[in-house]
Amino acid sequence: MNTEVEAKFVNVDHAEIRMRLNKLGAKLEKPLRDMRRVVIENTGMKEKNAFVRIRDEGDKVTITYKQFDELSIDGAKEIEIIVSDFKASIDLFAAAGLAHSSYQESKRETWKLGTTEIVLDTWPWLNPYIEIEGVNEETVRSVAKDLGFDWSEAVFGDVMAAYRVQYPHLGLDHTVGNLAEVRFDDPLPTLLIK
């Protein structure tokens, strides 16, 4: 499995981040786009803090196995492949007895600064955040500093790390992956209400 080296910074102003990225000479790789995904889990995966995600990224469809060995800068492991069809991939997993438990929408914009990827993410019921992914911790820390972030405010893990900052009553066992649908036009779910 590949190790992801990434950090998130939450409650950010995407317009301000774009200005900082431009000033640093970063390149916009993929403009803001709608994304959709389904999450597939079973008992064995949950025991390993893992899941399978089928994601339509706008220009490609990926299937990813993600496992979080720990909530740290390099705690995420993944195996990812590109496939040709979002719905057919969902149907294939369902036919194999692995139906999805959650459908989720988000919006993402992707920037590149050297070898580092910076994504601006927007999710339902969540303040905007960014994710910085690099080849090593030193690179991620350097880009975070260049963008004006305090490393002590970095959060690690999947999108739930950002939700837990905004909704501090959420525990590690609470996840939007338990919601059948995570859509922008839906009302705030009970999970996020204290």
Q: Residue 20: its pLDDT value, please? A: 98
Kindly report the CATH number assigned to the domain that includes residue 113: 2.40.320.10
| Tens of pLDDT, residues 86-114 | 999 999 999 999 999 999 999 999 999 99
- Taking the CB of residue 3, how many other CB atoms lie within 10 A of it? 12
Q: What is the pTM of this model?
A: 0.93
Q: Which domain holds residue 178?
A: 2-192
Mean pLDDT in residue range 34-60: 95
Q: Residue 172: its pLDDT value, please? A: 87
End-to-end alpha-carbon separation of the chain, Å? Answer: 37
When the pLDDT of each residue in the chain is averaged and rounded to a whole number, the result is 96
> How many independent structural domains does the chain possess?
1
| Tens of pLDDT, residues 144-158 | 999 999 999 999 999
